[in-house]
Amino acid sequence: MNSLKRTLALIATLALASSALVGCDNGGNSSSSSTADSSSSADSSAADDSSAADDSSAADDSSAADDSSAAGGEVKLPTGGDTLTIMSWNTEFPDMVKNYYCKDKGWTDNGDGTFSKDGVTLNVVAHGVGGGEASQYYDQYFDSGKDLDLYCAEADWALNYLGNDEKSAPLSDIGITEAELANQYQYTKDIGTTEDGVLKAVSWQCAPGGFAYRADLAEEYLGVKTPEEMQEKVKDWDTFMKTAEEVMTKSGDKKTALTTSLGGVWQVFSANRDSAWVVDNKLVVNDDVTNFVEMAHTMYEKGYVCPGITQWASDGSWLAKGQTDETMGYFVSTWGIGETILESAAGGKGGKTYGKWKLVTGPNDYYWGGTWLTVAPSCDNADIVADIIRYFTVDDESMKAYALASSDFVNNKKVMQEIVDSGENKNENLGGQDQFAVFMDAADKIDLAGKITKYDSDIKLAFQTAYEAYNNGDYSSVDETIEAFKDAVAAKITDLTWD
């Protein structure tokens, strides 16, 4: 890098550090301190009070999960530890273990938040932060040398741990084979695989996304009466923008925005890039990056998103818009159908707009969020960790029970197809529509092969910061925005090559 670039990098470092104090949400404007697009999965995956974690009704019969623990390959890591430690940024997955696995497997609830069985006590380390903030806490915990068996990771920063043999172990070391994961969606395995092709992490959920819209407003402003008709109105970005203009015009003084914030738009974009952010050690800034900056700016200026509204706004304004006629839709992933986004946006059961929503695929198939289970090299309860992972990611029976109890879209093609075919899942907030059927169409089309890098978290944050600054008037053009983005990346990731 020449001296000018280094100077710009230094300046950008100071600027980025300052902006970090303000933070950045997943989409439109400054707000949250979570990381780029996966912070939402955190806050999503998030919701410590999610029905998935709280509902303990799943899998009354645990025999299938018990049998699964005997499958697989050789167990190389130790067993017999007296403490089973699970670490996460929040309590979502630990609560799932307590409320589903422990209860199904006969663990004793000690009444103090811990569970125990056969001399082993479950110890939860939950840092109480968003997923995007987890890394610094994880690093401190690893440095402490404290007990750790299993931990949760996010897609944007997982490779920083999966690529480090001192912080992650192959799933094969606890006897889990790739053959056992045959029913999982490929993109989830791509995220959990190192650059050397070693599978080190697995997710219990597949997180395809869609576009949730107010069916009553769609009929009033657009004349559409079915999800199929609505999909035609948002089938690609050109059509989406035309429909946003039509909604704005037809809504008159209400000035209804087609979608609430740029956060959801960002999620769709970030999952549909043509290439990885870094190829041959160089930042890739191609037409899709420029096109997004232009489109986001147009949406912001023309009111196609709600003015002044940020995704995950701490004052609740983002979700509150769903109970007004000021917005017509939200981009949501599988976990966003419940209280985390859409149910809360409707005002909860019995709320002002509850039951008035429908779901379509939207402009692109995409994924948003997810959590990957990763084995610590210090694991000394390999048999129990393997059984937990199989319970949530391999066993058909326990996964189906969990999906029906929690409305989570589990990472098992066979199970999800059975649920859709049975017709037993009907979402009240969607007017009885089966959200799983919509998400099924997108899940198989998600392709992240060769598009994941260890730099994604930092690059996405820098990009969001840049386009938000453009919308706020800090930059005067798309070109200036792109240059600011490049300089921020150069300052943060100093080992990249620049032309």
Within 8 A by CB and 6+ apart from 332, the residues are 209, 210, 211, 212, 264, 341, 342, 359, 368
Whether residue 320 is found in the same domain as residue 288: yes
Whether residue 165 is found in the same domain as residue 247: no
Whether residue 156 is found in the same domain as residue 106: yes
Asked if residue 399 belongs to a domain, the reply is yes
CATH number at residue 305: 3.40.190.10
CB neighbours (10 Å) of residue 478?
17
Whether residue 165 is found in the same domain as residue 289: no
**Can you point out the beta strands (E) in 277-328?**
278-279, 282-283
Distance in angstroms (rounded) separating the CA atoms of residues 102 and 123: 12
Tell me what pLDDT residue 469 has.
96
Rounded (10°) angle between helices 478-492 and 287-302: 120
User: Within a 13 Å sphere around the CA of 402, how many CA atoms are in the beta-carbon half?
Assistant: 31
| 6, two tokens | 């280094």
Tell me what pLDDT residue 441 has.
87
Distance in angstroms (rounded) separating the CA atoms of residues 399 and 461: 34
Distance in angstroms (rounded) separating the CA atoms of residues 168 and 373: 10
Distance in angstroms (rounded) separating the CA atoms of residues 300 and 220: 24
| Contact of 394 with 181, CB cutoff 8 Å | yes
Asked if residue 322 belongs to a domain, the reply is yes
| Contact of 54 with 90, CB cutoff 8 Å | no
Nearest Cα residue to 269 out of 368, 192, 190:
368
Q: Is 129 helix (H, G, I), strand (E, B) or coil?
A: coil
Q: Is 108 helix (H, G, I), strand (E, B) or coil?
A: strand
Whether residue 406 is found in the same domain as residue 488: no
Asked if residue 436 belongs to a domain, the reply is no
Nearest Cα residue to 374 out of 199, 206, 114, 131:
199
Distance in angstroms (rounded) separating the CA atoms of residues 313 and 332: 16
Tell me what pLDDT residue 32 has.
31
Whether residue 203 is found in the same domain as residue 213: no
Residue 179 phi/psi, 5-degree rounding, is -60, -35
Domain that includes residue 154, residue range: 49-207+369-425
Whether residue 393 is found in the same domain as residue 467: no
Distance in angstroms (rounded) separating the CA atoms of residues 137 and 455: 18
Whether residue 317 is found in the same domain as residue 456: yes
Asked if residue 278 belongs to a domain, the reply is yes
Tell me what pLDDT residue 38 has.
38
Within 8 A by CB and 6+ apart from 429, the residues are 337, 342, 343, 346, 349, 354, 355, 357
Whether residue 373 is found in the same domain as residue 358: no
DSSP β-ladder status, 278-279 and 83-88:
unpaired
Asked if residue 274 belongs to a domain, the reply is yes
Q: What is the dihedral sign for C-alpha 276, 280, 282, 286?
A: negative
Distance in angstroms (rounded) separating the CA atoms of residues 139 and 415: 36
Number of domains in the chain: 2
Asked if residue 430 belongs to a domain, the reply is no
| 7, two tokens | 């100077």
CA 134 to chain centre: 14
Phi-psi region of 407 (alpha: psi -120 to 50; beta: other; left: phi over 0): left
pTM of the model: 0.83
Which pLDDT tens digits describe the chain residue by residue (499 residues)? 433 333 334 334 433 333 333 333 333 333 233 333 433 333 434 444 444 444 444 444 443 334 434 457 899 999 999 999 999 999 999 999 999 999 999 999 999 999 999 999 999 999 999 998 999 999 999 999 999 999 999 998 999 999 999 999 999 999 999 999 999 999 999 999 999 999 999 999 999 999 999 999 999 999 999 999 999 999 999 999 999 999 999 999 999 999 999 999 999 999 999 899 999 999 999 999 999 999 999 999 999 999 999 999 999 999 999 999 999 999 999 999 999 999 999 999 999 999 999 999 999 999 999 999 999 999 999 999 999 999 999 999 999 999 999 889 999 999 999 999 999 899 999 999 999 999 998 998 999 988 999 999 999 999 999 999 999 999 999 999 999 999 999 999 999 999 8
Asked if residue 497 belongs to a domain, the reply is no
Whether residue 282 is found in the same domain as residue 264: yes
Whether residue 197 is found in the same domain as residue 217: no
Whether residue 272 is found in the same domain as residue 294: yes
Asked if residue 259 belongs to a domain, the reply is yes
